[in-house]
Amino acid sequence: MRFLILIDAAAIPAILGGGTPTAAYSHDKNLFQFAHEAIRRGAPVFFTAAQEPAVPRPYYLVTQVYPEWKVEPQIYAYNDIAPDVIASVFPEALNIRREFPHPKIVSIHAAVQFVEAPELFSAQYVYDLITAVRYNIDFIIVQNPRMAELIYSLYSLLAKWWERDRILVAPLGIVPEEQHSLPTRQQARKTMGLKARDIAIVNSGGVW
């Protein structure tokens, strides 16, 4: 099975440059770990920018994600890669059934951004999202059962998505390389400037 990852164009230079995988937002990290697991299981994984407007897109074969990026120097064309699965955290970028008629299309939902901050998203974005969900996306992956129920309720209303069994729950794990890079509790408290008896409550998002 061959995978194609549509990722934020801003992340491509860092991937091609090698080094430790870092992400400005957790959404990219979902794709990093998805790709890492596919490679670990022996599957070829290709990356391209989600924002590329049309064919021809440049495709890059990623052979390692953690602990550092490794990418083949060759730039591939679509006919060279023939993916079986296409995945992205940008559902609005998955209106690609005409461009990619054969692969299964998977949307990884790390959050529902247009619900979190609706003022940042246009009516065109919502239209593209509904079109992708109704006509293009085969499966949706979420991190927990609460998110699955939220997505099902939302998309059955907005996009007439009735197949609850095509929303899959796959908790976001932490690969060992990521876990080792995390600060300790004491280091985090020191960075935040907390005193010994100070209590901190950290919120990392909504129900997701």
CA distance 159 to 129: 9
Overall average pLDDT of the 77-100 stretch: 89
Burial of 46 (0-12, 13-18, 19+ CB in 10 A): buried
3-state secondary structure at position 45: strand
Residue 46 has a pLDDT of 96
* Structure confidence at residue 193 as a pLDDT band (50, 70, 90): very high
Tens of pLDDT, residue by residue over 8-59, are 888 899 999 998 888 777 778 889 989 999 999 999 999 999 886 655 688 9
Q: How confident is the model at residue 172 (pLDDT cuts 50, 70, 90)?
A: low
| pLDDT tens digits along 124-163 | 999 999 999 999 999 999 988 989 999 999 999 999 888 8
Residue 64 above 90 pLDDT? yes
Average pLDDT over residues 90-104: 90
pLDDT at 53: 61
| Total-model pTM | 0.84
pLDDT in tens, 157-169: 999 888 899 999 9
The DSSP call for residue 5 is: E
The pLDDT of residue 141 is 93
d(CA 27, CA 74): 27
Mean predicted confidence (pLDDT) in 54-75 = 89
Res. 65: pLDDT tops 80: yes
Over residues 183-192, the pLDDT tens digits come to 788 888 999 9
pLDDT of amino acid 161: 86
Chain centre to alpha carbon of residue 54? 20
Tokens 């080094």 locate to 19
DSSP state, residue 182 = S
